[in-house]
Every structure is written in structure tokens, then in C-alpha cells.
Chains A and B, each alone.
Chain A
């Protein structure tokens, strides 16, 4: 199937380490979103890409969080110097702009 693919599906890291989470959107989808979901909570918007640019980064919680998108396709979310409060499921979604969002299964991050 050609759905949204995220990797790794699970990541356990130690406090203070950097992590990278990858999202492969559906081919041809112009917009890409990152959300995170803490245990038992709703979805928290992080950042949105239209092509390779990010018109809205307002949801990034701190300067330890950054994201990029290259070639209008793959996106990487980087968390530097991870903290325990960063533990969550990080969800990526893509959309052909005006259409529905297609979500991946998420990357579960656990910071020890």
C-alpha cells in the first residue's frame, strides 16, 4: 500500500540524546503535518509544510524541536537534547492540499 510511512515505529532513548523521526508522505501530496499525542491526550499540532516551506511552525514546543522537508517529499522531525516530557507518539499526515489528511501509524518515542 502507498500510505504514509513513519520510522522508526518505536524509539527508546536516554534523556539528553538527539532523535530523528522520519515521515514518507503519499506520493504527490503537497502538504505535510506533524502532530504529537501524549498518553491519553488529544493531538497537538507541531508544524505544517506546504512543499518544502513551513508556513506555520507555531506548534513547535521549544527550540530543541526542528523539522525539514526536502524535495517536497520526505520530512524529518529532530528533537535535540530529549527530555522525559518529549515522550509521546509523533504522528505525520499528508494531504493533497484541499483534501483529507492521511495519517501514518506514528512513531512512539520514550525518553528514559
Chain B
């Protein structure tokens, strides 16, 4: 499986933008970049995903480098509820290769 590398932890002030980086230098051409987050004592929840172009949804934005070897999850205005562990994972689109490997993620702390 292509692997991802994320910082173990990050801090951000409330109401400030947050940029969470992810490196995936061995990404293949068919890998989608997915982000999930896990709030305390809950199962992970989907945040966003993309292939080549930047993506926006109601939760966040995903900026993908031109060479696709890295990406950044952007929370435009952090709230206390955004404190969670954020996972960046790669998902192959080919049938029969659907094992999704979560790394250790980035623990985001929001400072009031």
C-alpha cells in the first residue's frame, strides 16, 4: 500500500484557519486522497477526498500538489469541535484492492 506521512500533532487557535499537511510520495496514478477525522470516543467520519484537482465541501478544502506527492487539508475557521485526530489515506480505485490503511494521523488541538 502507498503510505502517507503526517505530523503527530498540531495546535491552532480557535477561529483561525488550519492547514494539515500529508505527504504521499509513492502515490500511484489511480489513488484517491481521502481524509477522515475521529472525534474523541467516536468512530471516524469522512471529511473530503480528491484525485487531482482541489476540492471544497461544507467541512473543508483539499489542496493537492501538482505532482500529487502531497496534499493539505484546510479548515477555514477552526472551532473547538474540530479538535480531533485527522487521517490522510490513499484509496486505490481498482476492484479487489480496497484495503484502506489508516496511519497514526495528526492530533489537532484547538486553543480557545
| A residues neighboring B (CB under 8 Å) | 4, 31, 33, 35, 41-43, 45, 48, 50, 55-56, 58-59, 91, 93, 98, 100-106
Q: How large is the interface on B (under 10, 10 to 19, 20 to 34, 35 or more residues)?
A: 20 to 34
| B residues neighboring A (CB under 8 Å) | 34, 36, 42-46, 49, 85, 87, 93, 96, 98-105
A47 to chain B, nearest CB (A): 9
Contacts of B101 in A (CB 8 A): 45
- C-alpha spacing A50/B103, complex, angstroms: 23
Identify which of B34, B43, B93 contacts A104 (C-beta below 8 A): B43
Contacts of B100 in A (CB 8 A): 33, 45, 48, 101
Is A106 a contact partner of B43 (Cβ separation < 8 A)? yes
Is B43 a contact partner of A100 (Cβ separation < 8 A)? no
Is A101 a contact partner of B36 (Cβ separation < 8 A)? yes
Contacts of B49 in A (CB 8 A): 100
Contacts of A103 in B (CB 8 A): 43-45
Chain B residue, CB-CB nearest to A91: B43
Is B46 a contact partner of A100 (Cβ separation < 8 A)? yes
For the residues of B in contact with A, the DSSP-based class is loop
Chain B residue, CB-CB nearest to A56: B99
Is A105 a contact partner of B99 (Cβ separation < 8 A)? no
Known contacts A42-B103, A101-B36; is A55 also within 8 Å of B46 by CB? no
Contacts of B43 in A (CB 8 A): 4, 91, 93, 103-106
Contacts of B98 in A (CB 8 A): 31, 48, 50, 55-56
- C-alpha spacing A72/B45, complex, angstroms: 23
Chain A residue, CB-CB nearest to B98: A48
A85 to chain B, nearest CB (A): 19
B50 to chain A, nearest CB (A): 12
Q: Which of A35, A42, A43, A58 gathers the greatest number of chain B CB atoms within 10 Å?
A: A43
